Chains A and B, each alone.
Chain A
Amino acid sequence: MQHIDTMNTERRVPVEPDFWLLIFGDLTVFSVMFIAFMLRRFESAETHTVFSMGAESLNQPIGLTNTLILLTSSYAVVLALSHYRSGDLRRMIRSIGIAIVCGVGFISLKIVEYMEKINQGITVTEDRFFELYFTFTGIHLLHVVIGISLLTFVAYRAFVKKQDAFSTPGFIEGVACYWHMIDLLWLMLFSLFYLLG
């Protein structure tokens, strides 16, 4: 694989530089959301109580499991990229498969959690905490779905087209970075919604 040889040990930008605009744009949007969450939490004594009670009513074991699942999937993507660089596409596909399974597991647990709340009569209109909870985690969930689609596309191309699947490593690195971004955003969401209560 010729492109591997063209890489060097100089300081380099992982992924295409333009892609980082997308990443930082997304991160900035989430930053605003995190800050909005915190400001609302301390809006009044009443909202502070509502947020604390809301956090305590969330299913912490599911939140923790989902965090560990996403961390594992990120690690699998790191391994996939490493296998790609060493030219071992079979192992790369296997690692991406593990990441996809983790992603699907994350979505499944999130749906279980949503259903649990909906069955308790708690929806997005319940109070300010759950308004933000459903909105923020819903937006994050959408990112996970997009990430799984991208990972599936990478695995499919590698499986079908073998060595000619990708002319440059940029796309695979981009998908990997996108998946890691999903992971790091969840780490903050987990802290804010599940732990701060």
Chain B
Amino acid sequence: MISEATEFDPNNILTVKDLSVDFDVKGQSINILSKVNFGLKRGETVGIIGESGCGKSMTALALLRMVPSPPGKISNGEIFLNKKDIMSLSKREINRVRGREISMIFQEPMTALNPVYSIGNQLVETIQQHKPIDRASAMEEAIELLRSVQIPAPEKRISEYPYQLSGGMRQRIMIAMALVCNPQVLIADEPTTALDVTVQAQIFDLLKKIQNKNKTSIILITHDFGAVSEMADRVIVMYAGFKIEEGTLEEIRNSPIHPYTKGLLGSMLELKTDSAGFRERLPEIRGSVPDLLNRQAGCPFGPRCESATTRCLQMPPTFDLGDNRSVMCWLVENGEN
């Protein structure tokens, strides 16, 4: 039952094995990401969900070897894009992966675009970085891209600056920029968090449309289960740098196993009214995210866990339940579920 690492699955476009990231803070090494494993199939969307500081964004940056260094570094693990070993690439080679095979869009469309260059400049720059074409044809392609992300009047927008555009518009531009080379993998780090609800829906629609057209695989990083249920086929739940549960969207939504996942879902479900018509208090997970500087032994969620036993003073292994379903909790071994 206990597996050390996910087997190398030939169907996977992206395989991550035992990925660990350490940060060096005042001479002390802090484990930000601990032996994370997962795979991503072609055309599939995997949602990575967790609270801020759980390591989900760091996972995304690590995939592009963009962990800020110093103070951080990838201390362990392998990343394969198809059969290409990302960890062994030279600086030059990794630059050819970034933006071409794996692209990324970010949470803050307000700040993710350089304020002092026009939209066109930033798009053309990306196109010319990856394709040997002249400026004029790059410009045409840029306009085409803007059209494909449903930006009205792209010929006009292209010469505008980021500050002149709305948040939703900017996020579309970020997406356009990410699509320059039809990447196999698109990492979306909280792509809609900073946007209005209606705009959020539009962005998700756009992402789905692109995915259907190009068979792009998407990694959606979010703290919002709503976004995950909107987009994801599979869900990875992270806590304090660990992947604590993985399963299909249905599995996670309907039969979560890890107490943290249950808590996470519980705190997000719609408000129920009790018999007297009063709204129930929204369930919450007591305590707060552990201090990564002073990690205690045993299960990272232990101190906050309702079901913790003495068993939990030992670090639980990841129990592989087959078919990409896994949980990092002793409860599974005891068969209490």
A binds B: no
**A residues adjacent to B (C-beta < 8 A):** none
**B residues adjacent to A (C-beta < 8 A):** none
